[in-house]
Amino acid sequence: MTTFKRMTPKVLPYYLREPPGVIAKILVRLATCPFEEVAARLPLRGSLLDVGCGAGIFTATAAQMGFSCVGVDVDPRKIETARRATRGAAMLEWIRNTGPVHTPRLRKADDLPVEYVLLQPEELYSPGDRRFDAVVINDVLHLVEPRRREDFLRHYRGLLAHRGRMLIKTMREDAGWRIRIHQAQETIMVKGLRWTAGASTEPPPIRWLTDTLSAMNLSVRVEDISEGYPYPHVLVTAEDAPG
């Protein structure tokens, strides 16, 4: 997976001070989620809200790209991991030796321009008058209770700046065995191990999602970004329609 190879050196160093179990989870997430394809659809610059940021993998990526970022999540463990990772971030550098082998070491870098906010369960982030050039929702919508999904989307659509862009990474619900494997994994994570907070594990129908966003005066585009990955990843890009 070329994306995994490109993303790992950029993001993994932030987490090298974490316990091995956390590092393993970060590696699995990098290997199974097309973060770089999502990042490639961001606006050129501006402010970004990462909804359900988890341990901050995508938030850190966007901050490296120059965005001023806010990451929000309901899991206090993941928020603390994200805060540690981007506070005086540990960066990996290679030290040139006199011999043929170079030695890796950690050096302390400046803090990334990221703010992390812990939300209460079912709480929606409300930053007053602040609006964002990009609102990113990576693998979160399937965890929201189905009857709350429209209100969830409408709330975060309301945080878009003029001509802002929403990026919603989800799964295609009709992808046969691939989506069944994903749902089985999410059921274990949510209901078994309780590593993920959620009220559901079923992704919304893509047609419902595009119709709902279009009704919010957004221009919608759907892309399959699953090539090279085990799960049926879909990216829905919704831009504030002129008018």
* Segment 69-111, tens digit of pLDDT: 999 999 999 999 999 888 755 544 444 444 444 454 544 455 6
- All residues at 6 or more sequence positions from 65 whose CB lies less than 8 Å from its CB, including other chains: 39, 42
Exposure on the CB side of residue 72, measured as CA atoms within 13 A: 17
- Picking from 13-27, 36-50, 104-118, 128-142, which range would have the lowest pLDDT averaged per residue? 104-118
pLDDT for the residue 8: 64
pLDDT of 37 strictly over 60: yes
d(CA 147, CA 145): 6
Q: How far, in Å, CA of 40 to CA of 79, rounded?
A: 24
DSSP 227: T
Return mean pLDDT, the chain.
84
Furthest-apart CA atoms within the chain: distance in Å: 64
- What's the predicted TM-score (pTM) here? 0.86
Domains of the chain: 2-240 (3.40.50.150)
